[in-house]
Amino acid sequence: MFLAVNLLVALLLTLTIAPSHAQDAPEVDGNPNLTYNARLGNKDTTTLRGVLTITAAPDGVGVEVHVDFWDFPTEYSGPYAYHIHKARVPDDGNCTATLGHFDPYNRGMTTKCDDSAPETCQLGDLSGKHGYITAANITGNHYRCNYTDDYLSTKRGDTAFFGNLSLVVHAGNDTRLNCGNFNSVPASTPTPASTPTQQPSASLYPVGTSSPPLFIGAASSLGRTSPAAMLMALAAFFL
Ligand SMILES: [Cu+2]
């Protein structure tokens, strides 16, 4: 009986103390040429906005990451961190609901990410691997940077696939300032610079402005009277 209890205690200790097996992140190759981006939400609670785009590297080894965050809140200070989190942002925009970091290789939070050995970091710890955001590298309200990460996958179903997860940006005190979901970017989407402009594009890339010119098209068409409406008015006048 005593032995049985001891065995049970030992088993319980093993189950509760031993972390799931941590392993280094393997380099990913053969990434399909796909792009995903995460746009920070339009929140009343923060000025911070931004978009982070991740696309397969040209040789298929890892991904290229393009970061552009802007209008950092004055009431917080850095260094700001940003991570891929393991759950999506719900419709109400609650960043806490994204849970913890994307960490499929069970690195955990106890050991700080060593950027000289990025394979040992949590997969989603982008700022740990590639640099925190400090006042010194925010220029003109923007923090922009580009880098390659060898450990993320653009292939749905892979352990390292991030495209159905979320992005969270933290203040220096760890407060979750803003967040957004990764979504796939259609390959046919033209870049704004190469788009022949037919109409003022009100919604594309409102970079650097907190108040993009909304609904220009709608406003100008409201101001015009259609031929059908004029006929109706004439008919109403004569009948
Ligand atoms: Cu985070």
214 domain-assigned: no
CA of 126 relative to ligand 1 center, distance in Å: 9
CA of 212 relative to ligand 1 center, distance in Å: 28
100 domain-assigned: yes
CA of 33 relative to ligand 1 center, distance in Å: 26
Q: Kindly tell me if the per-residue pLDDT of 237 is higher than 60.
A: no
Provide the edge-to-edge strand list for the sheet that holds 142-149.
81-85, 166-170, 176-185, 35-39, 49-56, 63-70, 142-149
* Residue 71: CB atoms within 10 Å: 17
CA of 61 relative to ligand 1 center, distance in Å: 25
Provide the 3-class DSSP secondary structure of residue 238. helix
CA of 168 relative to ligand 1 center, distance in Å: 5
CA of 83 relative to ligand 1 center, distance in Å: 4
CA of 117 relative to ligand 1 center, distance in Å: 20
Structure-token match 């006929």, residue found? 231
How far apart are the C-alpha atoms of 150 and 201, rounded to whole Å?
Answer: 35
193 domain-assigned: no
How far apart are the C-alpha atoms of 193 and 179, rounded to whole Å?
Answer: 27
59 domain-assigned: yes
How far apart are the C-alpha atoms of 69 and 85, rounded to whole Å?
Answer: 17
- Residue 7's pLDDT is 54
* Tens-digit pLDDT profile for residues 43-56: 999 999 999 999 99
Helix segments in the chain, DSSP class H: 2-17, 126-130, 216-222, 227-238
- Residue 214's pLDDT is 43
The angle subtended at Cα 143 by Cα 97 and Cα 38, nearest 5°, is 35
CA of 169 relative to ligand 1 center, distance in Å: 6
4 domain-assigned: no
Domain of 48 in residue numbering reads as: 35-188
CA of 81 relative to ligand 1 center, distance in Å: 7
Count of the separate structural domains present in the chain: 1
8 domain-assigned: no
How far apart are the C-alpha atoms of 118 and 232, rounded to whole Å?
Answer: 69
CA of 100 relative to ligand 1 center, distance in Å: 7
Contact by Cβ (8 Å): 184, 34: yes
- The pLDDT mean for the chain works out to 82
Q: Per-residue pLDDT averaged across 194-206, rounded?
A: 46
* Tens-digit pLDDT profile for residues 86-96: 999 999 999 99
17 domain-assigned: no
CA of 228 relative to ligand 1 center, distance in Å: 55
* Tens-digit pLDDT profile for residues 65-78: 999 999 999 999 99
CA of 127 relative to ligand 1 center, distance in Å: 9
9 domain-assigned: no
* Tens-digit pLDDT profile for residues 164-194: 999 999 999 999 999 999 999 998 755 555 4
Q: Phi and psi (nearest 5°) for 9?
A: -60, -45
How far apart are the C-alpha atoms of 68 and 60, rounded to whole Å?
Answer: 23
CATH number of the domain bearing residue 110: 2.60.40.200
- Residue 201's pLDDT is 45
% of the chain beyond a pLDDT of 70: 70
* Tens-digit pLDDT profile for residues 87-121: 999 999 999 999 999 999 999 999 999 999 999 99
pLDDT band, residue 222 (cuts 50/70/90): very low
